[in-house]
Structure 1
């Protein structure tokens, strides 16, 4: 009996067609680079030799990396490919900088290092193979393609760097030194991956080596800033209580500079004093001098351009190693403290009667001289008038001993009568075998008291 076959429906025909297409795709994929559980491709055992390409082939253990085995093999293959690309990069290259009369000259010492994997572009996955234990990845990067990519990258970097260079020039012309340095520094940073290369850029005045000129410009700009003090020496006197001010100007090309940070320091005696400020619109910063320790005769004011505040970007910049020895402007101004002159008006008595010896006056004069204070014979030659009133009284007797008590007052005033300081000695006791000697002993003890704390407090008041 003959059986007749029924024609296939439209859906059945479409189903068979999709099955056929799926099988065809699987077959084609198996032939195009992926070889799974079959015979190992040639590139697994014998590395391809293609002079026009960089090649990266690597494997990873399935047991060790499990589902991430192919990802690991890919990373290893790309790392191997990257290892074949030898480039000059700044992390191991040194831009040597020397300073001569404020101008930086450079020469490059080049070392070679492999390009980082994350810097790769344009590579292709050429094959994949796996067996029971290992999985392989095969990458290729055309050398001409990669060089084109590098050239495009550099062109983009040069464009950005050039824009920063031009903005720095504009800021310089406007007298904005901080912005000019920042622009030149950004220009250097833009070209960091190209340090050691010839970075030619077409500027308004012709072709220049952009990174070198940017570095030169920073060095020249900083060295061209000058600090000038209004006086070559500062003299402080007691009339001003050893306080004074000094104006310092910051100039560039004979023009005053506004908002230039300046730091200064001087010794007040044994302790240093440090302060800082910025120049005003006329290029001046006002430096105040005060708080000198008693007996200080001279000091030195050191003024320095504060580069850290002027160009804070330098501290964190990868280019900072080239800027460690910038010629920063500074100056020193001697400070002289002229000692005060004192005229003595003294009256030392015993029981209300003036005595011949001036024991307390001499003790005060000696102590003041040791602290740099001079005393004069004429009242008109003095800055200060020291008035001393001292007297003793009988204190009684007993057991063969006599007692005397001394009270004294010391007042220092200006020649116009303004009080500076007043100190007293109260009931300084003298004890001896007779009354006159007891009074003399009270003066001797008072003289010792004066040479100690009493005199220190007296001198400190002169410098407050």
Structure 2
């Protein structure tokens, strides 16, 4: 009986402890978890993370800081440089998000108000005094402004020295320290003069880019299938004072080939050259365009997306060259025999000449005046009999050379068989077949190789 009483007492104690433990494990959620608190004079950040998340406490902290950063409003001052971007809503919103991200990185001086967790989720509650935050921002803004002014001063020195490239690099870098404050008017004093720093920097970037003058050939003539040498496509960049500009990146495009885009940088004389491997357009007129590669300068100065996007709005100086495309000329030379006897007429040369003219290419009367020389050699010889028919075979060779003697096209030892009751007529039939091959394919193959240019030789 005594043992039963002791057992009952132990059971009662165990069940009582278990019930009390279960209540302690799941306390009710505090009000700040259920609804976001509104604390006058404070920024608030609430963050949570599932406990299944690796390092869930750190994840909740980052979420709380992001929440606090979103509580810090980003307004664009009427006097700020960004006010001119307000019509571009996509840019303004991108900038606001960028500023909030920067604010999250820079947040400090916040305090933990409380934490709470249940079996699945961990919560944390931060607050930051608005007065304390404003003081911190003012101190950082002053430091950033001083750094920016240092870059700005170097940029002005470069402008006075007629060095546009260095000036642009320094001006773009001057924006980086003050980027978090571009939505505000940033007052500064430079050489005894009060300025709105960010506005002044953007104005100087715009004016420096606009002062660059790109010049080159207004027009030139090029031949189809031939290259355009760099000596023909040389461009110069000068500033408004007429001083050649070194190290300015240029981008070259050619209307005949939408995939062709080349880059070059000006030398000490402000010059940069481009070449076209071969002109392949059958149009009469094409255009070469050269533009100052502002994007390349920006990438050299900064990797900041928002700054790059802002400067990309500035129109880059450009120039164009009108290119008149002429067609190369051909000279036809032939040695045509039938059964080793020279022909009185030249059917193969005539077929080549006729087809080349039909495709719009001129024929030269003198080999020295031609861009390409077509050599045709043909002869027939007996090849036995087939019943009452006499068979012959023609050996046909066609090659095309350019002025430099490079072989552009070759058709070697093409054998063409024909037959007839009489050998000379069998040879004539072989020539008819050869003319058909010239009409159907050989001339088109020659023109295709010529248009493709030296790369195909």
Q: What TM bracket, shorter-length normalisation?
A: 0.5 to 0.7
| Count of residues paired in the alignment | 387
Deviation at 1:150, TM superposition (A): 4.2
Deviation at 1:76, TM superposition (A): 12
Q: Which has the higher strand share?
A: 1
Whether the 8 Å CA contact 2:187–2:195 is kept in 1: the answer is: yes
Rate the CA distance shift 1:442–1:124 in 2: closer, same or farther, 3 A. closer
Distance 2:341 2:398 in 1: 19
Unaligned runs of 5+ in 1: 1-49, 65-70, 99-106, 129-135
- Which of residues 251, 259, 283 in structure 1 aligns to 2:247? 259
Q: Does 1:361 align with 2:346?
A: no
Corresponding residue SS for 1:340: coil
Q: Can you list the C-alpha shifts for 1:68-126, whole angstroms capped at 9, x where unaligned?
A: xxx9xx99999999998766479xx992547xxxxxxxx9999899996886677899x
How do 1:42-61 and structure 2 match up within 5 A? 54=41
* Structure of higher CA gyration radius: 1
Q: Does 1:156 align with 2:143?
A: yes
Whether the 8 Å CA contact 2:172–2:298 is kept in 1: the answer is: no
Q: Does 1:215 align with 2:206?
A: no
Q: Which residue of 2 aligns with 1:37?
A: none
Q: Which residue of 2 aligns with 1:19?
A: none
Deviation at 1:209, TM superposition (A): 0.9
Whether the 8 Å CA contact 1:262–1:306 is kept in 2: the answer is: yes
Deviation at 1:422, TM superposition (A): 5.7
Q: Which residue of 2 aligns with 1:236?
A: 222
Corresponding residue SS for 1:375: coil
Q: Which residue of 2 aligns with 1:20?
A: none
Whether the 8 Å CA contact 2:45–2:66 is kept in 1: the answer is: no
Q: Which has the higher helix share?
A: 2
Rate the CA distance shift 1:205–1:429 in 2: closer, same or farther, 3 A. farther
How do 1:303-318 and structure 2 match up within 5 A? 303-312=290-299, 313-318=301-306
Deviation at 1:281, TM superposition (A): 0.6
Q: Which residue of 2 aligns with 1:95?
A: 82
Distance 1:58 1:378 in 2: 88
Rate the CA distance shift 1:318–1:242 in 2: closer, same or farther, 3 A. closer
Deviation at 1:249, TM superposition (A): 0.9
Whether the 8 Å CA contact 1:247–1:285 is kept in 2: the answer is: yes
Q: Which residue of 1 aligns with 2:181?
A: 194
Q: Can you list the C-alpha shifts for 1:194-229, whole angstroms capped at 9, x where unaligned?
A: 223222211226211111111122122222222211
- Which of residues 313, 324, 329 in structure 1 aligns to 2:312? 324
Corresponding residue SS for 2:306: coil
Q: Does 217-226 or 429-438 show the bigger shift? A: 429-438
- Which of residues 315, 318, 329 in structure 2 aligns to 1:341? 329
Distance 1:355 1:219 in 2: 74
Rate the CA distance shift 1:80–1:228 in 2: closer, same or farther, 3 A. closer
Unaligned runs of 5+ in 2: 1-38, 52-57, 86-90, 115-123
How do 1:44-443 and structure 2 match up within 5 A? 54=41, 88=75, 95-97=82-84, 141=129, 143=131, 147-204=134-191, 206-229=193-216, 231-237=217-223, 241-245=226-230, 246-253=233-240, 254-266=242-254, 272-293=259-280, 299-312=286-299, 313-377=301-365, 381-410=369-398, 412=400, 423-443=411-431
TM-score, normalising length from structure 1?
0.66
Corresponding residue SS for 2:433: helix
Q: Which residue of 1 aligns with 2:432?
A: 444
Rate the CA distance shift 1:446–1:146 in 2: closer, same or farther, 3 A. closer
Rate the CA distance shift 1:219–1:370 in 2: closer, same or farther, 3 A. farther
Distance 1:461 1:119 in 2: 64
Deviation at 1:255, TM superposition (A): 1.2
Whether the 8 Å CA contact 1:97–1:322 is kept in 2: the answer is: no
Q: Does 216-225 or 186-195 show the bigger shift? A: 186-195
Corresponding residue SS for 1:288: coil
Aligned residues: CA RMSD? 5.0
Whether the 8 Å CA contact 1:89–1:193 is kept in 2: the answer is: no
Whether the 8 Å CA contact 2:213–2:239 is kept in 1: the answer is: yes
TM-score, normalising length from structure 2?
0.67
Deviation at 1:327, TM superposition (A): 0.6
Corresponding residue SS for 1:344: strand
Rate the CA distance shift 1:204–1:416 in 2: closer, same or farther, 3 A. closer
